[in-house]
Every structure is written in C-alpha cells, then in structure tokens.
Amino acid sequence: MRTKPVDRIVAEGGHGEGGELRRSMSLLQLTLFSVGATLGTGIFVVLGEAVPKAGPAVVLAFVLAAVTALFSALSYAELAGTIPVSGSSYSYAYATLGELVAWVCGWCLLLEYAVSVSAVAVGWGSYLNEFFDKAGAGTMPAAISNPPGDGGLVNLPAVVVVVIAALLLLRGTSESARANTVMVFLKIAVLLFFCAVAFTAFHSGNLTPFAPMGWAGISAAGSKVFFSYIGFDAASTAGEEARNPRRDLPLAIVLSLAIVTAVYVLVGLAAVGAMHWTRFSLSGSEASLALVLDRATGRAWPSMILSLGAVVAIASVVLTVMYGQTRILFAMSRDGLVPHVFQRVSPGRAVPVANTVIVAAFIGILAAAVPLGRLVDATSIGTLFAFALVSVGVIVLRRTRPDLPRSFRTPLYPLTPLIGVALCVYLMVGLGSVTWIVFALWTLAGLVAYFLYGRRHSRLAAETSGVPGKEPR
C-alpha cells in the first residue's frame, strides 16, 4: 500500500539509464497523438460487429461510450496536469492508491496498449486485402493473412505494420510525431470522403426500426465500441516529452476526445443510413466501411480509396499506441517493478531502444496468432478497469494532497469521478462471461508476477525499508 510521493515522480521525469527523453512535442502533436491512437480503431474495424447488436442505434452506442470516456477523460486531464509523467494511469495510481494497485493498473495497461495494437494490426490486414482486391491484384492467401482460428496459419500483414511502426519509433519521438500528424490528417480526410459518398446513398428507411434490440442492444454495443475510444489517453504517456506538459496534456486529452466522438457519430450515421443494418451481420468482413461504399454505390473506386486510406490511417494507431506502451514500461522499469532493460535510453536518439524492440516483438507475435474478436473484448475490460482507477485516484489525491498545483480541475467534483467509476463498471458488466474469466486469469497472472518479481525489486520498497533491493536485470 506504499505510495510514491508526487514531487518525486515529477522530479524523475525524463530520466532513464544512459540518457534522457527530449521535450519536443507541442500541443498540436500531443492532440494528434491521442487522435492517432483513437480514431480508426472502432470505425474501421469494430463497427461491423457493433451494428448487429444495436441496429441504427449504434450511433447512441458511440455516444454512450463517449460519455463514459468523457468522465474518465476529465479525471485523466486533472492527473495529467498534476503528475505530467510517462506512466499515465500507472503513475497516477502509484501516487494515490499504492504500489500493488499501481502494478495491477500497469498490468491492465498491457491489455489497453499492447493488446489493442494487436487487434488493430489484425484489422489492418483486412483493409490491405480489400485494397488489393479492388485494385484487381487479387487477395493474399488466407494462410498468411488470417490468424489461427480464423482460417489461417499466421497474420503476416499484422506483423509488417508492427515492424514499420517500430522502425519509426526507433528513429526518434520528433520523427514519429511528424509521421503521425500526416497520417491523422489523411485518416480524417478519408473518413470525411466516406461520409460524403455514403450520404449520397442515405435512405431514412434504413433507420427504421431505430433500436431493434432496445436499450439492451445499445448497452451491449456500447461495451463493444468502447474499444474505439481506447487511446484518447495516449497524450498522458508523453508527459516526459511534452514541451509544456502541465498546460498541454489536459487540453490534448479533452480536445482529442471531442474530435473522435464527432467523427464516430457522423461516420456511424452515414454507414447505417447507406446500408441496412441487417446486412452488416451477413458481411463477415472486418472492412465494414469499404463494404458500405461498395454496396451503396455499386462501384469499386470509392471503397478502393477508403481501403487505401485505412491502410495508412490504421498504421497511425499502431504507431501511437506502441509509443504509449513503451513509455509506460519505461516508468515501471524506473520504479524497479519490471526489468531494468526497459528504462535504457539511447543517448543519440533519446528513445528506449531495447524497450521498443521487445514491445514490437511481443505485439507482432500476438497479432500474428490471435483472432480479432477475442482481443477486442479483453482490451476493453482491462481499459475500463484502468479508467475507473484514474477516477478514484482524483478523489484520493484531492483528499491527501489538496495543496498540489493543478493546471486543470475536474468539474463538479466529486460527482464527475464517481459517475466515471459507475459508467466504467456498467460497461464492464455488459461484457461476456468469457471476457470476465480471461480478465480474472490475466489479473491473477499479474499478481503472481508482482509477488515473484515486482515486490522484491521495488526501489521504493528498498528505500522505505532501508535494505538495498536486488538490482533488477
């Protein structure tokens, strides 16, 4: 239950073994980092799974998930402005709820970041195949484009996009941020193109009945599409590389959430208006937006443009979320809870090279071998748990350290963080029993790892007990 002092967490920011991270990211780059990590995941990949659950009311499912994310985002904004470091909710939990809870939070962030990247990478391969097909080049064999369990042996495209993202990250943070900025603007342009084309085939009759499964369907779809909001907190993982973190981090988090919510609702409405919701369940395709354009227009070129844009755009999700994962492990390694190798910084590039390579290898293997659906639900429940902890952390830190300078204060305190916790729990309940079993087993594995390794190597434990801890390697 020992907590790490906020002043010390902030003072250690940017420092690693062998070098330091550089403060190079502006407000625009931070905002687009969060947009890049968020926008695309749900719309390009998960929409086809959510529409059969809610019908045209999938638009409300996006709003429900957005409201849940908003309450968490406001809590994130306060803590990001108060504790502007790379650890995100892991560091916030360490400062407020104690080391064990922080470890569990960090363990859940492995689901939010590493596993969500794998899921997006799986969807990237679907759009790549869609583009090849529309361009008349045929499609890749299922054996090398689908994971085991989905009719293939290995998902090779997923591995390729992970490797590309890793190479960009290894070049440096500034280079990665510039590449992401280009990809995000392209992504938004592609989605606006989709809306422009889809609305030409809009039929109001496709919206009737609006909610065929009632509120239960909307709620179930909300739990599913919450996956599409994972990543809005990516700016909080750049706390040690932001030029003005106390001012820019809260703004970037709230602005990015507003941007992606507006785009999701607009694209969702265009999709169900252009194609009847019952057709989504018959498609069997993860490239659902391309299917909408194909059936709505009867022409191949609109879906070819969309698929090409999605290939580039989804790569930005892989890039930014992988970045977030490496920075969280960087913070955990600095505290001694994971091996020392994750905090080693290249003096020339100012990036954790070994950390990035290890994360890319783990994500690549996962993306190559695990089907998309299982990844989505597991990611959502881990993320919702971490978001709930952040809301609790706001309440605890307000009570224990009311004197801390806060560049942003969560409005309507304590109602806002309490509602955030309640909504997270509500969406967690909407996930299936299998997902809960997987989450319980994942948490149990995390606890075993903590008591076998993290607790014994914790720097804070060694300092508070006066006994030097075993140096982690």
What domains lie within the chain, and their CATH numbers?
Answer: 23-462 (1.20.1740.10)
Residue 69 reports pLDDT greater than 50? yes
| pLDDT (0 to 100) of residue 109 | 84
- Tens digits of per-residue pLDDT, 317-354? 889 989 989 999 999 999 999 999 999 998 888 899 99
pLDDT for position 374: 59
pLDDT > 80? residue 147: no
Residue 464: pLDDT above 80?
A: no
Query: Which residues, other chains included, contact 78 with Cβ-Cβ below 8 Å and sequence gap of 6+?
Result: 250, 394, 406, 408, 409, 410
Q: How confident is the model at residue 471 (pLDDT cuts 50, 70, 90)?
A: very low
CB contact burial 253-282 (16+ within 10 A = b; e otherwise): bbbbbbbbbebbbbbbbbbbbbbbbebbee
Q: In whole angstroms, what is the distance from residue 425 CA to residue 378 CA?
A: 15
pLDDT at 283 (0 to 100): 56
* Sign of the Cα pseudo-torsion (422, 427, 432, 434, in order): negative
| pLDDT at 86 (0 to 100) | 84
Higher pLDDT, 429 or 414: 414
Higher pLDDT, 409 or 382: 409
Q: Does the pLDDT value for residue 273 go beyond 80? A: yes
List pLDDT tens digits, range 134-145: 777 777 787 777
Q: Cβ neighbours of residue 205 under 8 Å, at least 6 residues apart?
A: none
Mean pLDDT over 115-130 rounds to 76
Q: What is the mean pLDDT of residues 209-218?
A: 90
pLDDT value at position 468?
A: 45
**Lowest-confidence range among 27-36, 371-380, 412-421, 427-436?**
371-380
Check pLDDT > 70 for residue 470: no
For the cut 90, the answer to whether the pLDDT of residue 439 exceeds it is no
Query: Pick the residue with more confidence: 312 or 245?
Result: 245
Q: What is the mean pLDDT of residues 71-77?
A: 91
Q: Say which residue, 416 or 365, is predicted with more confidence.
A: 416
pTM for this prediction: 0.84
Mean pLDDT of 274-293: 74
Choice among 110-114, 396-400, 464-468 with the minimum mean pLDDT: 464-468
Whether pLDDT at 469 is above 50: no
Residue 227 has pLDDT above 80, yes or no: no
Which two structure tokens, joined as six digits, stand for 272?
């169900």
% of the chain surpassing 70 pLDDT: 93
Is the predicted pLDDT of residue 46 greater than 80, yes or no? no
Cβ pair 39, 263 in contact under 8 A = yes
Query: Poorest-confidence range of 171-175, 243-247, 273-277, 292-296?
Result: 292-296
Q: Would you state the pLDDT for residue 16?
A: 80
To the nearest whole percent, how much of the chain has pLDDT over 90? 31
The set of residues, in sequence order, having a beta carbon less than 8 Å from that of 132 and lying 6+ positions away, is 138, 139, 140
Q: Which of 470, 9, 432 is nearest to 220 (CA)?
A: 432
**Average model confidence (pLDDT) across the chain:** 85
Q: Which position has the token pair 């590039």?
A: 349
Collapse the DSSP code of 13 into the 3-class scheme (helix H, G, I; strand E, B; otherwise coil) and give the result: coil
pLDDT over 60 at 472, yes or no: no
Which residue bears the tokens 């995100």? Answer: 88
Helices (H) and strands (E) in the chain, counts: 21, 2
How would residue 222 be classed by pLDDT, with cut points 50, 70 and 90?
confident
The 3-state DSSP class for residue 430 equals: coil
138-157: b (≥16 Cβ within 10 Å) or e: eebeeeebbbeeeebebbbb
pLDDT value at residue 269 = 92
* Distance of alpha carbon 173 from alpha carbon 86, whole angstroms: 13
pLDDT of residue 354: 94
Across 55-72, average pLDDT? 90
340 exposed, middle or buried (CB, 10 Å; 0-12, 13-18, 19+)? middle
The whole-number pLDDT of residue 43 equals 74
- Asked whether the predicted pLDDT for residue 240 surpasses 60, the reply is yes
**CA 417, 418, 423, 425 torsion: positive or negative?**
positive
